[in-house]
Amino acid sequence: MAQALRYHSTNQQAQSVSFRDALLKGQAPDRGLYMPGRIPQLTPAEIRSHATMTYAAIAFDVIGRFVGEEIAAADLRRLVEDAYDFDVPLEHVVGRRYVMRLDRGPTASFKDFAARMMGRLMQHYLRGTGRRLLVLTATSGDTGSAVASAFYGLADVRVVVLFPRDEVTDRQRRQMTTLGRNVHVLALDAKFDDCQALVKQAFADPALGHLDLSSANSINIGRLVPQIVYYFYAFSLLRKDGDAEHVTFAVPSGNFGDMMGGVLAMKMGLPVRRFVIATNANDEFPRYLRSGRYEKIEPSRNCISSAMNVGHPSNLARLVALYGGVMDEKGTIHRPADLGRMRREIYAASVTDDETRDTIRSVYGEHRVTLEPHGAVAWAGLTKYLLENPQAQGDLLVSLETAHPAKFPDEIRRLLGFDPPLPPSLAGLDDKPEFVTSIAPRYEDFRRYLLAEFQP
């Protein structure tokens, strides 16, 4: 039997833990992020065998390698089959270029992939222990709704979602606020980064130690691991079409959890030529990759790809760790990463709102494929990559579409002149009552709320 995988903090000041403890804790006690002590490897034959598997079966294979013997195979199989009961279409655009639609889950964003698995894993570990977790999560829109939907009704987990009142759409808000029960939603007159800072402060607050806090933000390893799976799945679909070579993925990026899933897939053996990491005007990563100097953007810039308005991506510490460096939670680099290797494997570009809108128009005009702002940032990043790297024109290219166009009806109507059809998951929201509490964006207020609401 292989030795059980342990999880280490990127800040290197905390003890290593099991998958279960990393999942239930969220953040390491030294404020670092948990990373697997070694990267599980798949052989080419194992990757080839995915070609005949369902999404859930590939998820079982990939996630199982991180969980190890901690969960019985039959239990894990049940969890993945329950989590992944929706389509993951790979839509052909033109030539050898595809869009992978990660928007068919219950809240119509790619966050469903991670949240549904994480919620089920947490509930699996908590059942019968008498422990009840209080999950805190800050959202720029899609995390909150995905986590709320994925955790809604779970017996042993309560959820508090903090969101910046003016930075989420009506529809995104209603996806969170119309649930109730164990889902508590807080609206703040603040930015996403402020909400995230409040959550981080709560984790470090000894006065809340008795509340059994955990995180559902992309800092949780339980969110990262499920996001490895769809990269393998994309490859399995392309192989079914007879293609068996390296793939380039374009990833629209904010907190860099999606990208980390891809980079981990590559380190596990998936044949990836390059990652095209596309950000909106929050371009701290493209600048870092170019210069080696990291400067976060404070406050973060508002763009139409609002789920990516992140001025200091929390998963960057993980990427730096994967390339041999150390970056702390504030963004200070204590040991530089191998930038040469990072640049060979990752290309990064920043995309303006105008370019995003032009891309939505042109991709629809030329190919009749509807993108929303986040997926359009990825496609625009891919276009920049191909301009700078003409030799890659004939490569197999997969651009990730991370939300359903119907989540951004105003923008799509303005640009394309029609209302994107509503997926069943988004229908009927406007008629339901909302449950939401407003608090001031001050830590004392947040702490008072938590103590009043969740005192055992």
Ligand X SMILES: *Cc1c(COP(=O)(O)O)cnc(C)c1O
The residues that touch ligand X, with contacts defined as CB under 6 A, are 109, 111, 142, 218, 252-259, 307-308, 374, 402-403
Nearer to ligand X, 61 or 401 (CB): 401
Dist CA 108 CA 423 (whole Å): 8
* Cβ 278 to ligand X shortest distance, Å: 10
Q: Which residue is nearest to ligand X (CB)?
A: 142
Q: For ligand X, which is the closer residue by CB, 252 or 381?
A: 252
Q: How far is the CB of 162 from ligand X (least distance, A)?
A: 15
Residue number with CB closer to ligand X (405 or 441): 405
Name the residue nearer to ligand X (CB basis): 236 or 306: 306
Q: CB of residue 326 vs ligand X: minimum separation in angstroms?
A: 21
Least gap, CB of 307 to ligand X (angstroms): 3
Nearest Cα neighbor of 145 from 175, 178, 100 is 175
Cα–Cα distance measured from residue 24 to residue 271, given in angstroms and rounded to the nearest whole number: 32
Q: Rounded CA gap, 365 and 12, in Å?
A: 50
Minimum distance from CB of 159 to ligand X (Å)?
17
CB of 66 vs ligand X, minimal distance in Å: 18
CB of 194 to ligand X, least distance (A): 17
Nearest approach, Cβ of residue 374 and ligand X (Å): 4
In the complex, the smallest distance separating the C-beta of residue 455 from ligand X, rounded to whole angstroms, is 32
CA distance 27 to 172: 26
Instruction: Between 47 and 307, name the residue whose CB sits nearer to ligand X.
Output: 307
CA distance 142 to 88: 18
Question: Residue 408 or 446: which CB sits closer to ligand X?
Answer: 408
Closer to ligand X by Cβ: residue 126 or 303: 303
Q: How far is the CB of 65 from ligand X (least distance, A)?
A: 21
CA dihedral 450, 146, 181, 220 (to 10 degrees): -40
Residue whose CB is less far from ligand X, 203 or 256: 256
- SS3 for the chain is CCCCCCEEECCCCCCCECHHHHHHHCCCCCCCCEEECCCCCCCHHHHHHHHHCCHHHHHHHHHHHHHHHHCCHHHHHHHHHHHCCCCCCEEEEECCEEEEECCCCCCCECHHHHHHHHHHHHHHHHCCCCCCEEEEEECCCHHHHHHHHHHCCCCCEEEEEEEEHHHCCHHHHHHHHCCCCCEEEEEECCCHHHHHHHHHHHHCCHHHHHHCEEECCCCCHHHHCHHHHHHHHHHHHHHHCCCCCCEEEEEECCCCHHHHHHHHHHHCCCCEEEEEEEECCCCHHHHHHHHCCCCCCCCCCCCCCHHHCCCCCCCHHHHHHHCCCEECCCCCEEECCCHHHHHHHEEEEECCHHHHHHHHHHHHHHHCCCCCHHHHHHHHHHHHHHHHCHHHCCCEEEEEECECHHHCHHHHHHHHCCCCCCCHHHCCHHHCCCCCEECCCCHHHHHHHHHHHHCC
Nearer to ligand X, 71 or 426 (CB): 426
Q: How far is the CB of 101 from ligand X (least distance, A)?
A: 12
Instruction: Identify which of residues 71 and 409 has a Cβ nearer to ligand X in the complex.
Output: 409
User: Which residue, 70 or 283, is less far from ligand X as judged by CB?
Assistant: 283
